[in-house]
Amino acid sequence: MNINNLINEAINARENAYAPYSKFKVGAAVITQNDNVYTGCNVENASYGGTICAERVAICNAVSSGERSIKAIAIVYDENNFAVPCGICRQFIYEFGAEIDVIMAKMNGEYKIKKISELLPDGFNGDLIN
């Protein structure tokens, strides 16, 4: 997996963000165990609860293409800050594995990586239900 390429895919996806209310554009890219890359951007809605984050869009794109095994997700949102996923996205990512690498990047390509299990300690998924 080339981390810089995955970050660039997230940066490119960010360009398609629909953020007329917050002006806060986010891009994400996931890479699967099959080395396929799927991207997403945030899509806002006037009914704020209808807004969907870039991370979830990227994962939904992967899932809708038949993928279930995610290795990593890269996230970008502005020039100055590392892109950290919100709580809902942390849970959404964790659903697909506690060991997924979350690449939190800045637009300049600088990044840091943490496992989703570090960002969501004691998280849960379907393994606890079955």
> Using one digit for the tens of pLDDT, what is the confidence trace for 25-35?
999 999 999 99
Sequence length of the chain is 130
Catalytic residue list = 55
> 52 phi and psi, to 5 degrees?
-125, 135
Verdict on whether the full-model pTM lies above 0.85: yes
Angle at Cα 112 formed by Cα 108 and Cα 113, nearest 5°? 135
Task: Dump pLDDT digits (tens) for 44-68.
Answer: 999 989 999 999 999 999 999 999 9
> 44 phi and psi, to 5 degrees?
-85, 165
CATH of residue 12's domain is 3.40.140.10
How many domains is the chain partitioned into structurally?
Answer: 1
Range of the domain at 46: 3-128
Q: How far apart are CA 61 and CA 30, in angstroms?
A: 9
Identify the residue whose tokens are 């950290």.
84
